[in-house]
Amino acid sequence: MLPPDLASLARALSLGLIPALQAPAFLSPQPVLSPAASACAVLRNTLGSTLVGFSGSGYNATATGAWNLFNSLDRPTCIVYPQTASDVQVTMRSIYEYGARYAVQAGGHSAMIGWNSITNGILISFENMTRVSYDANTNWISLEPGMRLSDAEIALEPHGISLIGGRATDVGVGLLLGGGISFAAPLYGWSADRIAEMDVVLVTGELVTASAANEHSDLFRALKGGANRFGIVTEFRIYAAKTGRKDEKRWFGGSVTYPGSANQALLKATVNYIKNVVDPKASAVISLNTLNISASDATILYVFYMGESLPRPIFGEFLSIPNTSQCFSPMSYFDLTSLVPGNARGNGQQFGSSSWLGDEETFLNGCNRFLRFTEAFAEPHLVASSLTISPIPVSQWEASLSGPNAMGNPGVPYASINFDLTYAPGEAVRPNDVDEGFKLMLTETPPSHGLPLFISESDTSQDVFETYGDLPFLMATYAKYDPTRFNMEHTDGPIGL
C-alpha cells in the first residue's frame, strides 16, 4: 500500500488535477543511428547536399539505374556522388570510422547481386567522374571510373586510338578490374594489362598510385583481376592502342547466325579453333542460345580478322556449317566496339562461369548440362539463356604491356565460358529452386585443372580467387592493404580472400 501522501498524488494525477510530469529533454532516450546513417550525416555536413543524397529524383535514378533488376531494388541509406579523388577519400574515411557497409557503382553493368548496390549502407556512385583525355607524349589515356566504355571510345576515336575495352557498348570502366575481354583481345591482350598505373583509395581513405614499377606493384597486380576487393580506383592511366579512326577499315568480319540444330557442329569447330589457331589477328566469340522460345532465337558467331578478308584456313570450318544469315564487311576497330549494343535493362540477370580446354567431350557435356538446367527451370522464370564461349589464346597473355595480372597465365589455349540467364520481367527475387539448380549446374561443369575463371562473368557463389595462379600472393597482398579485413566484411564482392 502506498503511503497517504503518495496515494493522494497518484489519485490527483489519475484525475488530471495535476499535469503529468515530463522528463527533461536531456534525460529522454535519444535515437541511436546506424553506422551508415552516422557516416551519411557526417558526409552531408562535410561534402554538402549536392554530393550526398538521401532522396529525390537524382537519388531514385541512381538507386534504380543498375542494369540488373535485382540490383535496382536496393535503397541505400545515402548515395555519395564524388567529383574528385579527394571526395572518395573523405567518403571512405567516414565509412571506415563508423564501420558502415558500402558499395561502389560505376557503369552499373553487373549480374552479381549486391556488388554495385546496397540497402542499409552507403552507395558511392561515380556518375560525376566521367572525364577522359589523351596525352600524345606519353601515349596514355586518362580515364575516370564513371565512364562507359562506348563513350570513351567515341571520345578517343578522333585520335585514332582505343583503350581496348569490352564487347558491349553499355559496359562500364569497372570491366578493367575484372580483366576485360575485347573482340581484339588475342592481339592486344586483356584490357587490364594495358593499364600503366592507377590511383587507388584504400579502405582507410589513403590515396596511393600503383604501377608495375613502384612500391605498390603488388597492389597493381592484384587490382588487375581483383574486382572490387583491393581498393577503389579513382583514375586509370592506360596505354593507348593505335587502332585507327573509324574510316580506317583495318579489320574484316561480322556475325553469322545459325539455327539451334547447328550447335553440335559449332562446338566441334570451336574446339578445333581453340586448339589450332595461333594467329593473334584472328578473333572469334560463340554465343549458343539454349532457350529457344521463338523462331528468331538463334546462335550467333562473331568472327574478325585484322586484314582484308577472313582466312579460310582459320574460319573455314565455321563458315561451312549451314547458317541462316551472314553479315560481313570491312570494319574499323571503332566498328568492332559498336557492334554489340547494350543489353536492355529491367530484367533480373545471373552469370556463371567456367573455363575449358579444347576437349570436345568437355564442351558437349557442359552444353548439355546447361541445356538440361534451362529446360527444367525455363517456365515460368526465364526468358533467355545462353552459353558464350570466348577463346583465350596464349597470345592474349603474352600481349601484356604491364606485367602479370592477378589471374595468372596458365600457359595453354582454352575457352572462357559464360552461362547467362535473363529472368522474366517483374521477377524481382531470384527463385531459390532456380538459384540452387544453377549452382548445381556450375559444380557439374567445373573449370579444367589449372584454368582461371573470368571474375566478371562468375556467380557470387564461385570462389574465383581459388582458381587464380597464385592465391597466396593475393591473400598476402590483401592482408597488407586491408589488415582489418574491412572490405571483406563491409562490402559484397568475390569470396575467398
Question: Does an H or E element contain 441, and which?
Answer: helix 432-444
Nearest-5° angle of CA 437, CA 441, CA 446?
Answer: 150
pLDDT of 3 higher than 80: no
We find that the CATH architecture of domain 132-244+471-482 is 2-Layer Sandwich (3.30)
Q: Which of 205, 232, 210, 234 is nearest to 221 (CA)?
A: 210
d(CA 222, CA 457): 18
Beta sheet of 140-143, edge-to-edge order: 132-135, 140-143, 232-239, 195-201, 207-211
Burial label for 450, CB within 10 Å (0-12, 13-18, 19+), is middle
Element (H, E) at 200: strand 195-201
The answer to whether the beta carbons of residues 251 and 328 sit under 8 Å apart is: no
Is 196's pLDDT higher than 50? yes
* Residues contacting residue 489 through CB under 8 Å, at least 6 positions apart: none
Q: Are 447 and 355 a contacting pair, CB within 8 Å?
A: yes
Is-same-fold flag (35-125; 251-466)?
A: no
Q: pLDDT band at residue 295, thresholds of 50, 70 and 90?
A: very low
pLDDT value at 9 more than 50: no
* Mean pLDDT value across residues 128-155: 96
Q: CATH for 35-125, among 3.30.365.10, 3.40.1080.20, 3.30.43.10, 3.30.930.10? A: 3.30.43.10
Collapsing DSSP states into helix, strand and coil, what is residue 385?
strand
Model's pTM, two decimal places? 0.91
β-strands 195-201, 207-211 pairing: antiparallel
b/e string for 319-339 if b means 16 or more Cβ within 10 A? Answer: bebebeeeeeeebbbbbbbbb
CA 282, CA 305: separation in Å to the nearest integer? 5
CB atoms closer than 10 angstroms to residue 197: 19
Distance of CA 394 to the CA centre of its chain: 24
- Cα distance between residue 113 and residue 421, in whole Å: 13
Burial environment of residue 434 by CB neighbours within 10 A (0 to 12, 13 to 18, 19 or more): buried
Q: Is the peptide bond before 24 cis (omega within 30 degrees of 0)?
A: no
Question: pLDDT band at 127, cuts 50/70/90?
Answer: very high
Contacts of 436 (CB under 8 A, 6+ apart): none
The highest-confidence range among 3-7, 24-28, 379-383, by mean pLDDT, is: 379-383
Rg (CA), the chain: 26
Write down how long the chain is: 497
Residue with cell 562473331: 302
CATH of 251-466, one of 3.30.160.20, 3.40.462.20, 3.60.20.10, 3.40.309.10: 3.40.462.20
H-helix or E-strand spanning residue 489? helix 486-490
**CB of 192 closer than 8 Å to CB of 210:** no
Domain ranges of the chain: 35-125, 132-244+471-482, 251-466
Q: Do residues 92 and 232 touch, judged by C-beta distance below 8 A?
A: yes
Q: Which three cell numbers stand for residue 161?
A: 586510338
Q: Residue 304: helix, strand or coil by DSSP?
A: strand
Residues 6+ apart with CB under 8 A from 311: 279, 282, 305
pLDDT of 25 over the 50 cut: no
Phi, psi of 103 (to 5 degrees): -145, 160
* SS3 call for 167: coil
pLDDT digits (tens, 9 = 90+) for 344-388: 788 999 999 999 997 899 999 999 999 999 989 888 999 989 999
Amino acid at 278: V
Segment 215-226, tens digit of pLDDT: 999 999 999 999
pLDDT of 290 > 90? The answer is: no
Specify whether the backbone of 257 is left (phi greater than 0), alpha (psi in -120 to 50) or beta.
beta
The predicted structure's pLDDT at residue 343: 65
Q: Once rounded to an integer, what is the mean pLDDT over residues 390-407?
A: 97
372 alpha carbon, distance to own chain's centre: 27
pLDDT value at 26 more than 60: no
Tens digits of residue pLDDT in 430-454: 999 999 999 999 999 999 999 999 9
Amino acid at 241: A
